[in-house]
């Protein structure tokens, strides 16, 4: 899933009175008392995990879980479920080994429904055409972009009770980049809980799941970055800090992945309905939810619809909270958030 690095909105993970492993280093692991900290590369981005081990080393198990997610959702894995679907001209029979893909596909359809298509895993042809996907090409003329819209629409793909996933057109391509990292974090959290580990922080490419307390016995604190425009992805400053226990946090934004062409800025978030990169004041969308793949997908949808519609959407959903940073008239950072999104003062 190398293309996932194009969508990473990295968090500052604040581990009280202890240092995180740098994400610029190779995979590494160290133990502080009974807490294990591990970091490395996955899906073309970085992961960081810290947990109260209770004497257990579960790295092999959670890395295997991440590899299984890659086998289901990576557009760079020629043997993955999603690649088989993309290469098929019409329908593919999904089997038991494709269960993770089915789980994510069903969640994607759920989010597409509640967002009126603002989240859409069939947006891949347009994402690629604008240069942000698994087959980037920024030279696509407007006439071709208009045609590509015919291949985008989550209702143009269906999963039958018999297990066949069918595409209405062979040119339809799926891309799970906007949900896969969150699902990866969920899968690591699942492995930890299965092993009786309930105090942990898991982050995959900026999508975070936290449970219990850190090695200081305090609730995990996660920093949300200022949306500083920087295509090098090297500038990070903390805007807000949120305390998280038993929740997932995902952030999406347009301030790291963009380019200019003929004086026009193109951001990586594509509106599936208009077929164009979004162009509004919302800079960053952070969502708290019970699971990280829901938070991940909703964060993307909110970036598509803009700050006011995002506030209305998140306020309408149970057990979901949102925090949005948007640009003021003079370029200053302004904020809106739902009542349940609590910050550390």
How many Å apart are CA 84 and CA 345, to the nearest integer? Answer: 49
Averaged pLDDT of the chain: 85
Indicate whether this model's pTM tops 0.75: yes
Question: Of 206, 193, 261, nearest to 46 (Cα)?
Answer: 206
Placement of tokens 């789980």 in the chain: 103
pLDDT at position 18: 34
Alpha carbon dihedral 171, 72, 96, 64, in 10-degree steps, equals 170
Is the Cβ–Cβ distance between 290 and 248 less than 8 Å?
Answer: yes
pLDDT at position 26: 41
Instruction: State whether CATH 3.10.50.40 applies to domain 68-167.
Output: no
pLDDT digits 0-9 by tens, 163-211? 999 999 999 999 999 999 999 999 999 999 999 999 999 999 999 999 9
Q: What is the 3-state secondary structure of 35-92?
A: EEEEEEEECCEEEEEEEECCCCCCHHHHHHHHHHHHHHHCCCCCCCHHHHHHHCCCEE
**List of residues 6+ apart from 163 with CB closer than 8 A:** 93, 94, 95
Cβ burial of 89 (10 Å; 0-12, 13-18, 19+) is exposed
Q: How far apart are the first and last CA of the chain?
A: 37
pLDDT digits 0-9 by tens, 122-140? 999 988 887 776 665 666 6
**Residue ranges covered by each domain of the chain:** 68-167
Placement of tokens 């490419």 in the chain: 205
For residue 116, give both structure tokens: 């009126």
């Amino acid at each position: 899933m190398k293309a996932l690095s194009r969508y990473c909105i990295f968090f500052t993970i604040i581990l009280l009175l202890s240092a995180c492993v740098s994400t610029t280093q190779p995979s590494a692991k160290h133990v502080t008392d009974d807490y294990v900290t591990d970091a490395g590369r996955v899906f073309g981005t970085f992961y960081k995990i810290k947990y109260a081990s209770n004497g257990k080393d579960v790295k092999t198990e959670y890395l295997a879980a991440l590899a299984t997610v890659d086998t289901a959702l990576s557009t760079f894995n020629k043997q993955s479920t999603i690649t088989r679907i993309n290469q098929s001209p019409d329908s593919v029979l999904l089997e038991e080994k494709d269960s993770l893909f089915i789980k994510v596909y069903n969640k994607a359809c759920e989010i597409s429904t509640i967002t009126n298509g603002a989240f859409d895993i069939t947006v891949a042809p347009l994402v690629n055409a604008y240069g942000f996907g698994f087959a980037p090409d920024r030279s696509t003329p407007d006439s071709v972009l208009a045609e590509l819209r015919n291949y985008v629409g989550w209702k143009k793909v269906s999963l039958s009770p018999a297990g066949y996933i069918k595409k209405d057109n062979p040119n339809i391509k799926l891309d799970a980049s906007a949900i896969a990292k969150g699902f990866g974090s969920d899968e690591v959290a699942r492995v930890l809980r299965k092993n009786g580990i309930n105090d942990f922080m898991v982050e995959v490419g900026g999508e975070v799941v936290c449970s219990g307390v850190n090695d200081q016995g305090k609730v995990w604190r996660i920093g949300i970055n200022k949306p500083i425009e920087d295509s090098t992805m090297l500038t990070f400053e903390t805007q807000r800090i949120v305390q998280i226990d038993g929740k997932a946090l995902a952030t999406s934004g347009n301030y790291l992945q963009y380019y200019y062409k003929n004086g026009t800025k193109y951001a990586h978030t594509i509106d599936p309905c208009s077929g164009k990169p979004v162009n509004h004041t919302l800079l960053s969308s952070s969502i708290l939810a019970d699971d990280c793949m829901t938070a991940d997908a909703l964060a993307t949808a909110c970036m598509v619809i803009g700050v006011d519609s995002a506030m209305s959407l998140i306020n309408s959903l149970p057990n979901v909270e949102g925090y949005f940073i948007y640009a003021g008239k003079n370029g200053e950072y302004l904020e809106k958030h739902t009542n349940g999104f609590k910050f550390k003062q």
